[in-house]
Structures are given as structure tokens and as C-alpha cells.
Amino acid sequence: MTTFQHNLEKYAALVAKTGINVQPGDTVVLQIAVDQAELARDITAACYDLGAAEVIIKWQDDMIDRLHMQHKAHARLVNVPDFQKQEYDYWLANNAKRISVMSSNPDNLKGLDGDRVAAVQKANGQAMLKVRQATQANKNSWTVIAAASPAWAQKVFPDMDEQAATAKLWTEIFKTTRVDQEDPILAWEQHGQKLQAKAAELNAAQYKALHYTAPGTDLTIGLPENHIWMGGPSRSSDGRPFMANMPTEEVFSAADANNVDGYITSTKPLSYAGNTLNNLQFTFENGKVIKATAEEGNAVLQKLLQTDAGVKRLGEVALVPDPSPISQSKITFYNTLFDENASNHLALGSAYAFSIEGGTDMSEEALEAAGLNRSQAHVDFMVGSSQMNIDGLTHDGQIVPIFRNGDWAD
């Protein structure tokens, strides 16, 4: 067995155990690209090793996705067929645990008709509504991980040939997911505990708002009453710890959808809907985006902002110190899973129901009334840098330093 094959097996075991924490009798849904067949086999084996009853593979392929987007009859493209919806119902009925493996070329859909791309995103969003709501409420364990594809690797390392770039991206994935350590599962336990301790500090403080300042940024973000910060492992409704993102370096909560004022500028490229968006600027008033521009990908951004009413408000607020290993790698991954874990970020669109006390038992209406944004979209964009300061504003008017020069203040 080569070192690469050995690492791939360690990765698969980590994802099955720490990622979704497979228990005997589980249904597992694995979404993965066809060019990652070896990893798919390893993950399937690792899930069965832990006693899974069934592993369902949903194959994906960038080139075929692009062909569909270019040529499929419009009516077929935007109408998700009933048999597909029935499959989603099957997942829900069997409490499927979901593993999503990201490896797409960030520019896979570049140059295609933006109306068609947006229409498909919307149709899929509606068809997957219940699945997504169950995921966001942590009804069942789920995890998002990455795999290196040649097309993605060459976007990240444009000066290398395809083989070298792919090998380098795998090395970075193994490093940031701690697969290169002797016992990755133990390493993740310790890492998870550190993130949980930070979240506990912020939960005890219950700040009324956070005030962000940096070049191009002066923004105050209200936090809902009884908000919950989380970091490291999540817990599903059956009490099972799991890791929703690997890597993860963030401590995050929900923004108050009605109390965000000021302006903010993104600091890293955002890969969205098969396009790269750069230098985004947003101005907020009473929680709502009243002005938005992007230096690159502006048309895609404007389309995104038309998704629904909720997409113009913030759902998530996340803190990631600039000295985090992903940030220090100085690599732009053009993939949100990595780039959001290199940087403080915010998300337009839906808030996670578990970001407020009792939230996972609340109706959509009750969540909205509590200030948790509802939307079909959830799009993270990166705002952190070594020049960012963040203050916590307390209910009795005190100002407490949380971040100084991009790192935790204490």
C-alpha cells in the first residue's frame, strides 16, 4: 500500500467515526464525485466496519453537471422529478446520516447562463427543503469534507502541472484534517475541546452585539437573545456527537436578522454556484442589505440576492483567528469549506436553528420571530484579516475586546 492509499484509508475512517459517528443500523448517504471512487470505496468500507445498515452513494461529475446546465431542456432542468423527491423522503424516513465530499472545480459553471444556474439552484433548494431543514436542525449527523480533484487543484496551484497540483492539494487536505497525525481521531478530540471552550466563554458573556472594524469595514451585528455559540463537535437529536465540517476552526452563532448596521468588505474570494466572486462590499440597514457590489462576479452576486427575502439578511456569524493553520498556509482554496475556516466569516441567508436555546424545537415562524433568519440560501463569505478588531457590546453598555489584529484578544 502506498502512503497516499494509507492516508486515504485513515481519512475514510476519520470521516466515518469523527465526521458522522456511524452507529450500528445507520443509513448513510455519501455524495461524492466519480473521480473520487477510491475514497468512496474506503468510506463505504469504513461505514460498514462501524455497523452501517446501508450506504447509499450519490455520484456526481463536474463535466456532466456542466452539460446538463448547457443543454438540458429548461422544463426538465428546473422541475425536480417525483422519484428524486421520493428518494429525499426515503433519507428522511431512515434518518440518513449524510457525508458530502466537495471536490468540484470552483469555476465549473463559469460563463454559463446565470438565469439557468440560479433557476436550478432554486429548484433543488425547494426539493431539498426538508432534508436541509433536518440537517440545519442537526436531526441527524452530517459532515462536509473535501477531496482533491485535478481541476480544483490547478485552480489553487496554477503554476504546477496537474499531477503535482493534485498531490499538493491532497497534502494540504491531509494536513488541515489532521490525517497526517498518528492518531487523527484523538487529535480531533483535543481540537474539538479547544473550540468548545471558546464557545463556552462567549455563551457565558451573552453579548448584545459585535462591532467589527477593519479597512473597508465598520459593522455592528446584533445577536439574538439566548443565542448559542458552537465550535468543534455538534450533537444530533439522538445525542450523538459529530463533526459537521472537516476541517473546522470556527466558533459560530446566529446574527439577529433585524439588527445589522454598517458596511463590510470581503477579504477572500468566494466560490459560489460554479463562479468566483471577489471583493464583495455590503451595506446593511436594520439587518437588510441595501447595497451590494462585487468587483468580480457581480452579476452572480445580484442573482443570488434575488433568491428570496431572507438572502438579504445575515444568518451566521463566525469567528476564526487569523493565525489558524489554514490561514497561515496562505493558500486560497477557492472552496468555502477551507477558506471560511481561514477567516472570520458571515453568511447571508438561513441561520442554524441550534444557534438559539430551544431552537431545534421551534417552528420556522418562531425562529423568525426570535431573529433567526430564514432563507433557502446559506452563503458564507470571508471578512477576516490580521487587521480586524472585534468588540463585544454588553447589555449594560460595556465594550469588551474579543479580537485584536485578527486573533482572540485574550
Residues near Zn ion, by CB under 5 A:
250, 252, 316, 318, 347, 380
DSSP classification of residue 296: E
Which is nearest to 104 in space by CA: 57, 155, 30?
Answer: 155
Beta-sheet pairing, 27-33 with 97-102: parallel
- Residue number with the smallest Cβ distance to Zn ion: 318
Nearer to Zn ion, 35 or 340 (CB): 340
Nearer to Zn ion, 35 or 380 (CB): 380
- Smallest separation (angstroms) from Zn ion to the CB of 15: 19
- Smallest separation (angstroms) from Zn ion to the CB of 113: 27
- Smallest separation (angstroms) from Zn ion to the CB of 387: 21
Of the CA atoms within 13 Å of residue 232, those in its CB half-sphere come to: 16
Is 239 in a helix, a strand, or coil? coil
Nearer to Zn ion, 138 or 166 (CB): 138
Please give the Cα distance from 369 to 351 (Å, whole number). Answer: 13
Nearer to Zn ion, 370 or 379 (CB): 379
- Smallest separation (angstroms) from Zn ion to the CB of 379: 8
- Smallest separation (angstroms) from Zn ion to the CB of 255: 11
Please give the Cα distance from 193 to 199 (Å, whole number). Answer: 10
Note the residue count of the chain: 410
DSSP classification of residue 367: H
- Smallest separation (angstroms) from Zn ion to the CB of 183: 26
Nearer to Zn ion, 166 or 341 (CB): 341
Question: In the block, which residue shows the cell 502506498?
Answer: 2
Please report, as a single letter, which amino acid is at residue 180: D
Tell me phi and psi for residue 367, to 5 degrees.
-65, -45
Nearer to Zn ion, 42 or 316 (CB): 316
